[in-house]
Amino acid sequence: MTVIWSRLSCIGLLNRGQRNISFFSNTTPSNWNKVVSDAEKIVGYPTSFMSLRCLLSDELSNVAMHVRKLVGTKHPLLNTARGFVYDSRNNLQMRGLVVLLMSKAAGPSQHTSSDLVSQDMVSGIYPSQRNLAEITELIHTAFLVHRGIVNLKEWANSDGTLKDMQFGNKMAVLSGDFLLANACTGLAQLNNTKVVELISSAIGDLVQGIYHEMPNNVEDKSLTDDITMVTWEEQMFLSHGALLAKSCQAAMELAKHEKDAQGLAYKYGKHLSLGYKLNSDLQPFMKSSSADPVTFGLNSAPVILHRQIVGQEKWHHQLQQAKTIGTQIDYTKLRSSIKLEDGITSTMDLCRYHSSKALESIQFFPSSEAHSALENIARAVTKF
Amino acid sequence: MAVQWSHCGRWITAAKSSTLLETICGLNRRSNTFAVNSLLGTGTVAGWGNPGLFSRHVHTTSLGSSLFTRYRTKLLYQTPKLCSCKRTHSDAKLIDPFSMAQNDLNHLYDDIKKELFVSKSELKSLCDYYFDGQGKAFRPMIVVLMARACNIHSNRDRDLLPGQRAIAMISEMIHTASLVHDDVIDGSDKRRGKTTINEVWGERKAILAGDFILSAASMALARIGNNTVVSVLSQVIEDLVRGEFMQLGSKENENERFKHYLEKTFKKTASLIANSCKAVCTFYIDTNNPRLQGSLLAGQKRFVLTVGLYPFKVSILVNSDPEVHEIAYQYGRNVGIAFQLVDDVLDFTACANQLGKPSATDLKLGLATGPVLFACQQFPELHAMIMRRFSSSGDVDRAWQYVLESDGVDQTNYLARRYCQEAIRQIGLLRPSPERDALVRLTEMVLTRNK
């Protein structure tokens, strides 16, 4: 234990005086925290803080030591590391939790084969399903880290920084790879090649989704113009939904549940993720005070829907008006013009649609605490 | 390996006057004893081939003395066999491993590209970038030759099983994925004479491409449908990362340093070859598999099974015997380490364009490889430079000079040769076949390659 604490405090050092900076930029409805903490009690014990095995490894302590050197630099790995310790949204382990709840809600399979003994279950969850939940978190975290790799050429002209960025990248590549490698060996230990294939494909989806993520401040409007809600949904499924959907499905496979149960679990994971993503896309538009500095992606759902509603021409005009000297965008101004139209309400409707689809997919699961927790989570995404 | 190094400290204190090289070779010979013993069924260290499990091997030290006595007798017994291997060696000169494996590897790169299924064209071109057919396909070649050699050994049928070919493909994919990430970590701009992915598309996309290749490899691996194969090759992925981490640190103590270097070499290079070799002889009948039970009961010896995309011809005889995959593993491990040792030598001796990358890259990256570690014995001045990872100005040039003036290069080559001899001894335990001879010939090529 002492090792963990020293390691955490080591990362924590970085955070002194900056507690308010969370890895996730937007804040949560307090409701969400309650739903999550209630749900954690149902699955027996909270999703382990990543894998203990991983945290205690020499490799990660090495990284933690090196990450210290990044204090004061702009490398994104620093923020990611902060997020591990101070996560105000409480959703770092959200995927693992949903996998556990889904496992528990579905219960043991009717046609339990010899190698699955229900006595092995702890709080109604098979050990293999717990491992899967952990693997899901490992993969998710690995990509939080790999997402933050920077292109060195973009830093080449600011001297001094290049070395920091190079070093930060090295640490980010290594620690992300380390988490992924642990996920791989963990997957192999599940002794189920179908699950290995499914989760590996989720990793591929995640990569494709992240690959096409746009940097936050895309100025080139031609880039944003061709993104429709259809492509938004495809991309968001890849980057934010596939891992959860496929992990939920894999949890059913591990308990030898039939194909249709697997399909329903997949649907729940998919729609929940999309609903959740819509909710967080909406957050910048929910803050009432215009004093707060605000930014939002020009490819976030409310903006795309707004653009579709008002038409390309009017959108370009609004975008032009919101531009200050240079190419900077006055987001507060842009937000007010978006707020005047129906883009935001359409986004809310879409979010409610995904929430109801998630609820629908689990309606035939036997009623249980875990089942209601899944329902609460699906409902919580529609609280804006 | 693990046994070998857990003995390291002891051996050195026992023989203070011996040089590092003698120590290593002595240990190497000693470790062979373990192999011989376990192969002949007298050893108690069945799992010693797995270098990751140090703790598991610690207990064997207590057997040290009794094994040592056995070693002497076994060595006597082994001598004629070693000679016969040498003879095979010279007979095998005509067999070119590359052309022998050619048929099996004809569509290797096309098949890999099919596995890398992405709809978005840019990511696709990044992923395909190194699968342009210009690589040597060194790993897949060893894998298919080993598969055929083991098949012949076990059932006198040299046919390659589809799963075995899939492993050859996967080994190349894992290798490439790790190259892509290594290039980002090392900041390299050239690879096999091509501009690296990170140089063309930037670091962020390069890392994602590497991750994608790995996920595709992992899917292909899962589709083989064999849990043992999945766990053997997942171990490789873990070793690759751990090896990369080992490169971050340097050890103060000289012996520790060598041990660290060889362990890193195993993890970064040899593990992939060793475990792929092991995986191809790991197909066995899973008696719990309902799809197979009928046929098993009927007493059939071969049958076709379709798992995912691959129609499987499963041979009952392939690999029921654990010794075969241990031989395969040991061959791969020894060849793999030799391969890397030679690579480290070439970093000093080959001229820049031959290797497809500039020379002395390791020194520039702050890495002390075999030649430097040996040179450090003659020129203790190197010690300080190693510790500061050649970071002071002029360090790289001075270290380079010291290495060339010392026996570092020769000693590293000699060490590589010893590893190859052990590989030959291991493969000699299989039934003779043209593929086995090709694998013997291959060790020669590993030692004599100049690029």
Q: What is the 3-state secondary structure (H, E, C) of B146-214?
A: HHHHHHHHHHCCCCCCHHHHHHHHHHHHHHHHHHHHHHHHHCCCEECCEECHHHHHCHHHHHHHHHHHH
Partners of B185 on chain A (C-beta within 8 Å) are 169-170, 173-174
Task: Name residues whose C-beta falls within 8 Å of residue B180's C-beta, 6 or more positions apart in sequence.
Answer: B130, B197, B198, B206, B207, B209, B210, B213
A193 at the B interface (CB within 8 A)? Answer: yes
> Would you call B204 and A174 a contact, using CB atoms and an 8 Å cutoff?
no
B100 phi/psi in degrees, rounded to 5: -65, -35
B26 phi/psi in degrees, rounded to 5: -60, -45
Residue of B nearest to A198 (CA): B219
Candidate from B119, B181, B224 with C-beta closest to A177: B181
Domains and CATH numbers, chain A: 2-15+27-108+121-380 (1.10.600.10)
Alpha helices in B193-321 (DSSP H): 197-201, 203-223, 227-246, 254-265, 271-280, 290-297
Candidate from A181, A204, A211 with C-beta closest to B215: A204
A287 at the B interface (CB within 8 A)? Answer: no
Task: Name residues whose C-beta falls within 8 Å of residue A120's C-beta, 6 or more positions apart in sequence.
Answer: A126, A127
DSSP-derived letter for residue A241 is I
Task: Name residues whose C-beta falls within 8 Å of residue B125's C-beta, 6 or more positions apart in sequence.
Answer: none
Partners of A191 on chain B (C-beta within 8 Å) are 227
How does residue A152 score in pLDDT terms, banded at 50, 70 and 90? confident
Q: Is the dihedral of CA A209, A210, A216, A222 positive or negative?
A: negative
Q: Is B224 in contact with B307 (CB distance < 8 Å)?
A: yes
* Per-residue model confidence as pLDDT tens for chain B (451 residues): 433 443 433 333 333 444 555 445 444 443 433 333 333 333 333 333 333 333 333 333 333 333 333 333 333 333 333 334 444 444 445 678 888 888 888 899 999 999 998 877 788 999 999 998 888 899 999 999 999 998 888 876 778 888 999 999 999 999 999 999 999 999 888 888 899 999 999 999 999 999 999 999 999 999 999 999 999 999 999 999 999 988 887 777 888 899 999 999 999 999 999 999 999 988 744 434 444 433 333 333 444 444 444 444 443 334 456 688 899 999 999 999 999 999 999 988 876 555 555 578 888 888 999 999 999 999 998 998 998 889 888 888 898 889 989 999 999 999 999 999 999 999 999 999 999 999 999 999 999 987 6
The shortest C-alpha distance from A70 to chain B (Å) reads 16
Partners of B237 on chain A (C-beta within 8 Å) are 180-181, 184-185
> Comparing C-alpha atoms, which of B338, B359, B355, B339 is closest to residue B347?
B359
Candidate from B204, B240, B245 with C-beta closest to A62: B245
Partners of A58 on chain B (C-beta within 8 Å) are 245
* pLDDT for the residue numbered A328: 77
The helix/strand/coil state of A73 is coil
Classify each residue of A99-122 as buried b or exposed e, where b means 16 or more C-beta atoms within 10 Å of its C-beta. bbbbbbbbbbbeeeeeebeeeebe
The crossing angle, in degrees rounded to 10, of helices A193-211 and A161-189 is 160
Comparing B143 with A55, the larger pLDDT belongs to: B143
Cα–Cα distance measured from residue A334 to residue A320, given in angstroms and rounded to the nearest whole number: 10
* pLDDT for the residue numbered A111: 66
The shortest C-alpha distance from A332 to chain B (Å) reads 31
Cα–Cα distance measured from residue B65 to residue A182, given in angstroms and rounded to the nearest whole number: 38
A152 at the B interface (CB within 8 A)? Answer: yes
Partners of A193 on chain B (C-beta within 8 Å) are 222-227, 230
Residue A255 has pLDDT above 80, yes or no: yes
Q: Is the dihedral of CA A108, A112, A113, A119 positive or negative?
A: positive
pLDDT digits (tens, 9 = 90+) for A11-53: 433 333 333 333 333 444 567 777 777 777 777 655 554 556 6
Residue of B nearest to A60 (CA): B245
Residue A179 has pLDDT above 50, yes or no: yes
Comparing A216 with A306, the larger pLDDT belongs to: A306
Candidate from A169, A177, A210 with C-beta closest to B203: A169
Size of interface A-B (CB pairs under 8 A): 130
Cα–Cα distance measured from residue A116 to residue A105, given in angstroms and rounded to the nearest whole number: 17
> Would you call B230 and A210 a contact, using CB atoms and an 8 Å cutoff?
no
- Give the max Cα distance, chain A: 71
Cα–Cα distance measured from residue B87 to residue B81, given in angstroms and rounded to the nearest whole number: 10
* pLDDT for the residue numbered B44: 32
Residue A223 has pLDDT above 80, yes or no: no
Cα–Cα distance measured from residue B286 to residue B291, given in angstroms and rounded to the nearest whole number: 10
Location of structure tokens 């902060």: A82
User: Which of A57-66, A266-275, B54-63, B296-305 shows the lowest per-residue confidence on average (mean pLDDT)?
Assistant: B54-63
Location of structure tokens 């053997």: B232
Average pLDDT score over residue span A123-140? 90
> Would you call A146 and B187 a contact, using CB atoms and an 8 Å cutoff?
no
Q: Is B424 in contact with B89 (CB distance < 8 Å)?
A: yes
Domain layout of chain B by residue ranges: 1-94, 95-448
A203 at the B interface (CB within 8 A)? Answer: yes
What is the CATH T-level fold of the domain B95-448, as seen in this structure?
A: Farnesyl Diphosphate Synthase (1.10.600)
Burial of B301 from C-beta contacts in 10 A (0-12 / 13-18 / 19+): exposed
What's the CA angle centered on B253, arms B252 and B254, to 5 degrees?
Answer: 115
Partners of A152 on chain B (C-beta within 8 Å) are 187, 202-203
> Comparing C-alpha atoms, which of A174, A184, A211, A181 is closest to residue B182?
A174
The shortest C-alpha distance from A25 to chain B (Å) reads 21
The shortest C-alpha distance from A138 to chain B (Å) reads 14
* pLDDT for the residue numbered B262: 94
The gap between the terminal CA atoms of chain B, to the nearest Å, is 27
Strands B194-195, B190-191: pairing is antiparallel
* pLDDT for the residue numbered A214: 57
Q: Is A63 in contact with A150 (CB distance < 8 Å)?
A: no
What is the Cα gyration radius of chain B? 22
The shortest C-alpha distance from B252 to chain A (Å) reads 17
Candidate from A181, A191, A210 with C-beta closest to B238: A181
Q: Is B332 in contact with B266 (CB distance < 8 Å)?
A: no
A231 at the B interface (CB within 8 A)? Answer: no
Candidate from B202, B227, B244 with C-beta closest to A193: B227
Ranked by mean pLDDT, the top range of A79-83, A106-110, B143-147 is B143-147
A48 at the B interface (CB within 8 A)? Answer: no
Distances in Å between the alpha carbon of B305 and those of A256, B278, B293, B295, B314? 22, 22, 12, 10, 7
Partners of A115 on chain B (C-beta within 8 Å) are 288
Residue of A nearest to B185 (CA): A170
The helix/strand/coil state of B286 is coil
Partners of A80 on chain B (C-beta within 8 Å) are none
Cα–Cα distance measured from residue B424 to residue B411, given in angstroms and rounded to the nearest whole number: 20
A229 at the B interface (CB within 8 A)? Answer: no
A226 at the B interface (CB within 8 A)? Answer: no
What is the Cα gyration radius of chain A? 22
Partners of B207 on chain A (C-beta within 8 Å) are 146, 149, 173, 176
Residue of A nearest to B290 (CA): A113
Candidate from A181, A204, A212 with C-beta closest to B212: A204
Candidate from A150, A166, A170 with C-beta closest to B204: A150
* pLDDT for the residue numbered B90: 46
> Comparing C-alpha atoms, which of B343, B395, B335, B388 is closest to residue B370?
B343
The helix/strand/coil state of B303 is strand
The shortest C-alpha distance from B411 to chain A (Å) reads 31
Residue of A nearest to B204 (CA): A149
A201 at the B interface (CB within 8 A)? Answer: yes
* pLDDT for the residue numbered A117: 67
User: Which of A225-234, A355-364, B95-104, B352-361 shows the lowest per-residue confidence on average (mean pLDDT)?
Assistant: B352-361
Compute CA A321 distance to the chain's CA centroid, rounded to the nearest angstrom.
33
Residue of A nearest to B202 (CA): A151
* pLDDT for the residue numbered A254: 94
> Would you call B219 and A187 a contact, using CB atoms and an 8 Å cutoff?
no
A58 at the B interface (CB within 8 A)? Answer: yes
* pLDDT for the residue numbered A333: 84
* pLDDT for the residue numbered A56: 65
Tokens linked to A19: 């507690």
> Would you call B241 and A181 a contact, using CB atoms and an 8 Å cutoff?
yes
Tokens linked to A364: 């035939």
Residue A270 has pLDDT above 70, yes or no: yes
Cα–Cα distance measured from residue B164 to residue B161, given in angstroms and rounded to the nearest whole number: 5
Distances in Å between the alpha carbon of B169 and those of A193, A328, A362, B221? 18, 49, 41, 10
> Would you call B245 and A58 a contact, using CB atoms and an 8 Å cutoff?
yes
Partners of A151 on chain B (C-beta within 8 Å) are 202-204
* pLDDT for the residue numbered A88: 45
Residues on B contacting A at a C-beta cutoff of 8 Å: 118-120, 122-123, 181, 184-185, 187, 202-205, 207-208, 211-212, 214-216, 218-219, 221-227, 230-231, 234-235, 237-238, 240-242, 244-245, 248-249, 288, 308
Partners of A143 on chain B (C-beta within 8 Å) are 211
